[in-house]
Amino acid sequence: MEALLDQLEAIEAHVLAFERRNLALLPAIHPRYRESARNLLHYVALRQLDLRRLQLDLARHGLSSLGRSEGAVLSALRQVRRRIAEALDADRAEALLHERTRALLGHKPAHRHVSVMVTAPSAAEADRPCRVLMDVAGPQLRTGAMAPGPSGVSFRPRRDAFGRVVQDAVVPILAAQDGPPASAALLLPAEGVALLSEGDLLRVTDTRGRCREVRVTGVQGDRAVGRTDQSLYLAEGCRVEVRRQGRAVWRGAAGPVPAQPQAVELVVGDRFVLAGDLVPGQPALRGASDEVVHPAIVPCSLPQALDHLAPGERVLFDDGRIEALVESVQAPRATLRVVRAGGGRARLRAEKGINFPETRLEVDAVTDQDRRHLAFAARHADAVGLSFLRTAGDVRRAADAVGQARDVADRPASRPLGLVVKSRPARPSTSSPPCCWRRWSPSRSG
């Protein structure tokens, strides 16, 4: 394509040079026909050239072969040139996109076009050389902690559409220590766990008074693993009997179990409180007719965000599953009314996203904790990710913070720090594109 463009530029230069050599002929032409006379000069100049090979190449690329250009020779030449230049611009743009992608994410395998991002709990999870991206949390807008509910856990086997068990429930069995375990498990006194052997049968009387059987499938030190094809609801004090070869070898009681965090149920039409004073979340207190006697409380992890709310604005929860309207604001709390929820009601748990799509928030895009994390990432990561940037100013300040961390880490020029930005404009219809890099000019950004 570039060769075609060069040929067309040479042809246009030849046509214009021919016109200049014959300008003295034009004054003798009637002004009404002078433009046509100039075009005739262009046509004569064009016919002086052998265009057959060029015309075949143009046709092969789906372009005009100049076969009908006699009415406006110079215009036809320039139109074909523009089409080729546009195609070249598109090719260059695509090549540049791939070049920047490779610089940021590394080379992709030959057998697929896309790059795959994997979240790894630790560096040991990566079994091959790869680029490391470290995300920076930013000012997280999430639901806060909910008040703990009852202390109890459940284990349920997986069933198919007909209720048949297709996978047993796995029951970790641990020796009781101080306090409940961090996750769901059956705690037994140390002497009870110590005598367990693979194949033993545990009979557990659960919270409903039902006898449930758990088969021990593995033992390692002070812990074991059991499996059951029955639903088991467990609380502290549930009676446990260990049986081996048809007879009981130990009897005792289950130890403490973790309290389950509550979920706040929100029903369309309900009013609830969005609280910025970091109180635990509480479900609504309802009367005999399911009317709300005391509204639910949903904590917000970023209290200063509530200072910018105004009545009538929308608030979205849990990736938009729940939508509410602000009815009143009395910082640090706001009263909201649910206007949309899946099936008319939905349960909202801790650590779910909150979005204020119509509110202009004046909060720092990069927190002090983010700056500490950036200092670490600048020393150890190939790229950093920044999320929840809403304005061009947010992008600029965040990029400055990344640049400062990079400079302090004294990274060599041969190892640039990549930057991945996830921007969420506060008002997409009016916000300008956040392309204010100013100080930050990495060779790898996206």
For the stretch 257-310, pLDDT in tens is: 887 778 999 999 999 999 998 799 999 998 888 888 999 999 998 888 898 899
pLDDT at position 125? 60
CA distance 351 to 152: 21
- pLDDT of 438 over the 50 cut: no
Of 227, 112, 92, which is closest to residue 169 (Cα–Cα)? 227
pLDDT at position 65? 85
Query: What is the residue type of 390?
Result: R
pLDDT at position 440? 45
Q: Stretch 311-316: mean pLDDT, rounded? A: 95
Tokens 């557990």, located at residue: 204
The tens digit of pLDDT for each residue in 118-154 reads: 776 665 666 667 788 888 877 778 999 998 888 888 9
CA distance 336 to 59: 65
Q: Stretch 20-41: mean pLDDT, rounded? A: 89
CA distance 27 to 15: 19
pLDDT at position 148? 84
pLDDT at position 317? 95
Confidence of residue 423 (pLDDT cuts 50, 70, 90): low
Do residues 241 and 251 make contact, with C-beta atoms less than 8 angstroms apart?
yes
Q: Stretch 203-229: mean pLDDT, rounded? A: 94
Q: Stretch 148-173: mean pLDDT, rounded? A: 91
For the chain, the 3-state helix, strand and coil shares in percent, each to the nearest 5, are 30, 30, 40
The Cα diameter of the chain in Å comes to 124
- pLDDT of 334 over the 90 cut: yes
Q: Between these two residues, 402 and 205, which has the higher pLDDT value?
A: 205
pLDDT at position 424? 57
CA distance 414 to 98: 20
Give the pair of three-digit tokens for residue 425: 């404009």
Mean per-residue pLDDT over the chain, rounded = 85
pLDDT at position 305? 86
Give the pair of three-digit tokens for residue 254: 């289950």
CA distance 199 to 203: 13
CA distance 243 to 228: 15
pLDDT at position 180? 67
pLDDT at position 270? 93
Confidence of residue 434 (pLDDT cuts 50, 70, 90): very low
